Structure 1
C-alpha cells in the first residue's frame, strides 16, 4: 500500500477530505450567497409561495358556490384571502428587515404586552366575537382577527429567548427560569385554552416541547410533560360536551351520521370520489352545500376530491420542503435563539398541518385548526407568512462554521520567551489592528503557544522522532542521489540513448 493511500485512511486524512469537500461547498454561490445558505431560503420561499397560490385556487373553487348564493359575488372569499395573503407577505418582509434579534430582544416585551391585550379583548363586550360555542375572535372595525394565531409567534420568540438564557448562556437558574417561563409562555397559553381553543394550545405546547428538547432539556422530562399534556387534553375533551362528542364521532362516525358525524362522512365521500388524480379543479360535488366549511377546516377534503391522491401528496410534500428548509436554517443559525426560533416556526406549521389532516381523514378528533397557507382565514395566512419571515430572518444572519483548522489557528497566540511576556498580536492568520502594528515583538523572541485544552499524549514507537509521522521514502538520501548513468534517455542517441 502506498504512503498516499495509507495516509488517506487515517483520521487526519478523512478530516482533510471532509474539510476539502466543505470548502468546495462554501465556494459554491447562488446569487452571491453560499449555496448552503441560499438553497434553504429559496426552497422555503418556493414552497410557501406555491402553497399560498394553490390555496388561493382551492379557496376559490371550494367557496365560489357559497359566495355566490350568500354574498352575490363568487369572488367574495378569494378577494379577501388574496388581500390577507398580500398583507401577510408584506409583514413577513418587514419581519426579515427588523430581524429576529430585535424581535426577541428589544421588542419582545412590547410584543408580549400587545399579545396579552389582544387575548383579553376577546372577553370585552362589543369587541369579542363568539362563534360555534367559542370566543376566539376580536372585531376591529371591518376586520376580524383571531389573536391566538398571532400569539403563537410571540410565544415562540419568548420561549427561544428563555431557553437560550437557561441552556445556552446559563444566565438563568432553574427557579428563575420556571418563573419567567410560566409568566411569559404559560399565561398566553392558558388564555388561549380558556377561549376554549384546545387545538391551538396543543400545537403551541407540542412545539414548545420540541424546542425544549433540542435546547438541551432532559429527554425524560420532555416525554413526561408530553404524556401529561396528552392525558390533560383528552381529560378536558371528556369533560366538555362538544369535545366529547368529537371523540365519540371519531370512534364511530356512521353512528352519528346525521349529527356530529355528518361533516366527517362527507369528507370521506370527497376523498373516495377523487381517486388517484381527482375529478378536476372546480368539479367538486361536495362543495355544493354537502360539506360544511369546505373552504376552511375541510379544504383538504376538497383537494382530495378535485386533485386526488396526487394533489394531497403534493400538499404534504410542500410542508416536507418547509420542514427541510427550517431544519437547514436552524443548523446554520448564529446562536441558540436563532436555532430555536427556526425550529419552533417549523414545528408550528408542520404540526398544525398534521393536526388538520389527521382530523379530516378520521384518525384524530377534529380540532377546527386550518391548514397553513391553504385554508381560508386572514389571521391564519398572515401569521403563517410571518412565521416564514422569522425563519428567513434567521437565515439572513447565518454564517460559515469554523473548520478544525480555523479553530487551531485561533487557538494560537504569539508570546515572548516567558508566558508573561505577551505580544500584542492576537491570533495567527488574523489582521493586526493598525494602531498596534508598530508594537510587534521581534521574530527571534517569539514562539507559538496553543491555547486550547491539551491533548492526551499518544505513545510513539521507540526511536521515533517527535513531530509528524515519518513516511518511509525507501532508500537512503545518498542512494536517492542521481548516479552518472541515471540521466534522461534521448531517443535515437548513439550511446544507448544515455547522456554523455
Structure 2
C-alpha cells in the first residue's frame, strides 16, 4: 500500500494574494508619485519645514549660549537674531507661496543677474568680507549677507527657465550647452574666487540634477560632471589649507591645534549621545571643544543632546521633505515647475546629506551649513523662500487638478512630461 500524500488545500484568498499585493504597491507608488491630490505634498513640505526650523532655533539657543556669553552678547544673542531671521523667512515663504508661476518664471533671469553681480562684488570689491578663510560675505555698513545662498535658488530657477524654452532641443549638444553650462560655470567660478568650495559643490549638484532631469545630451552632462570633479580636485590639491583638511580626515589628532580637532570632537559628541542623549543644554563638546558649534557642526550637538533618536527624527524630516517636493515634481506636466522643483530638492536635501556626511567623518570638512538648522540668516531666509516657491508650484498644480479642462496660460505651456526619470512599470491586473 502506497503512503497517503497530504497536500495543503489552497483557498481562493491565496490565489488572489499576488493581485492584492500588486494593487497595494500600485496605490503606494501613486501616492508617492503625486498622482492623487497634492494636499499630502503640502502637508509633508510644510510640516517637515516647520519641524526642522523650530528644532533649529532650539539647537541654536543650546549650542550658541556658551560662546555668546564669552563674547559679552548674552546667552540669547544669537538665538534672538536667528529668530528674527526665521520670522523674515516665514514671511518670505508666505509671499512666494502666493505668487503665480508666470511671475516666478519671469524672476529667473533677473535673479540670475543679481546673483552674478553680488558674487562679483564679494570676490572683486572692497565690500567682500572674509570669514573663516572664505570670502563669501558681502558687508554694507553693519549688515552682512551671503550672496552664494541666493545663487543656489537663482541657479535652480534660471536653469529651469532656459531649459524649458529648449525642452525639445536639449538632446542637441549646441542647445544643451549654451547658455546653461557657461552660466553655471560662471556662478561656480565666482564662488570659487572666494575660496568657498562647499557652496561650489552644492551649486554643481543643483546644476547636474537639472541637466539630468531635463534629458540633456549625455555628452553635455558628462562634460559638466568631468569639469566639476576635475575642478574640485585641482582646487583641493592646489590649496594647502584644503589639503590639510583632507590629511586631517585621513589621520589622527595629537593636540588641540590639529586641524582634525573640530571633526574629532564632533564625532565624540555624536558617540556620547547614546540613544536618548544627555538632554537639551547638557552638551559638553560645545564648551569650546567644537568652535562655533551653532554653525556647520550643529548636527553633532543635536546628536549629543538628543541622542540617536533625535538624529533619526531629523533624518526622517529631511526624508519627508524630499518626498513632498518629489511629489510636486512628479505630479506636474510643466517643464519649468519640474526642473525648478528638482533643483530645489537637490539643493536642500543634497546640502543636508553633504553636511551630515561631513560631521560624521564620511567626507572631509567642506564647510556647508545644515539647512533650516544651522545658524545663519541668509541661509535660513533663502531656504524658506525656496520652500515657498515649491508650495506655489503645488498650489498651481492643485488648481489645475480641480479644473482639469482649464486651458493653460500663454506663458505656462502644457508641455509633455520629461521621460528621463524612470518609474516602475506597474500593470493593471488582468
Answer yes or no: same fold by TM over 0.5: yes
State which drifts further: 168-177 or 195-204.
168-177
Matched, 1:114 2:114: yes
Distance 1:337 1:292, change over 3 A: same
The root-mean-square deviation of aligned C-alpha atoms, in Å, is: 3.0
Give the TM-score of the pair, scaled to structure 2. 0.81
Q: Distance in 2 between matches of 1:60 and 1:330?
A: 35
Residue of structure 1 in register with 2:87 after alignment:
86
Residue of structure 2 in register with 1:314 after alignment:
313
State which drifts further: 34-43 or 145-154.
34-43
Distance 1:239 1:390, change over 3 A: same
Q: For 1:129, what is the secondary structure of its paired residue? A: strand
Distance 1:177 1:226, change over 3 A: closer
Matched, 1:149 2:137: no
Q: How many residues are aligned here?
A: 382
Q: Distance in 1 between matches of 2:79 and 2:292?
A: 15
Residue of structure 2 in register with 1:239 after alignment:
238
Preserved CA contact (<8 Å) 1:158 1:184: no
User: 1:337: Cα distance to partner?
Assistant: 0.9
Tell me, which stretches of 5 or more residues in structure 2 are unaligned? 1-15, 407-430
User: 1:355: Cα distance to partner?
Assistant: 0.9
Equivalences for residues 75-474 of structure 1 within 5 A: 75-104=76-105, 106-123=106-123, 125-166=125-166, 168-170=167-169, 174-218=173-217, 222-223=221-222, 225-254=224-253, 258-398=257-397
Question: 1:135-161 deviations in whole A, cap 9, x for unaligned?
Answer: 100113332100000011111111111
Q: For 2:117, what is the secondary structure of its paired residue? A: helix
Tell me, which stretches of 5 or more residues in structure 1 are unaligned? 1-8, 26-33, 407-429, 432-500
Question: 1:317-359 deviations in whole A, cap 9, x for unaligned?
Answer: 1110111001100012240110111111011001111111111
Q: Distance in 1 between matches of 2:269 and 2:152?
A: 32
Instruction: Say which one has the larger Rg.
Output: 1
Distance 1:226 1:183, change over 3 A: closer
Preserved CA contact (<8 Å) 2:172 2:216: no
Relative contact order: is structure 1 or structure 2 higher (C-alpha 8 Å, sep ≥ 6)?
2
Q: Distance in 1 between matches of 2:72 and 2:49?
A: 30
User: 1:253: Cα distance to partner?
Assistant: 3.4
Preserved CA contact (<8 Å) 2:48 2:320: yes
Preserved CA contact (<8 Å) 1:67 1:74: yes
Q: Distance in 2 between matches of 1:116 and 1:221?
A: 23
Q: Distance in 1 between matches of 2:218 and 2:72?
A: 52
User: 1:203: Cα distance to partner?
Assistant: 1.0
Distance 1:400 1:125, change over 3 A: closer
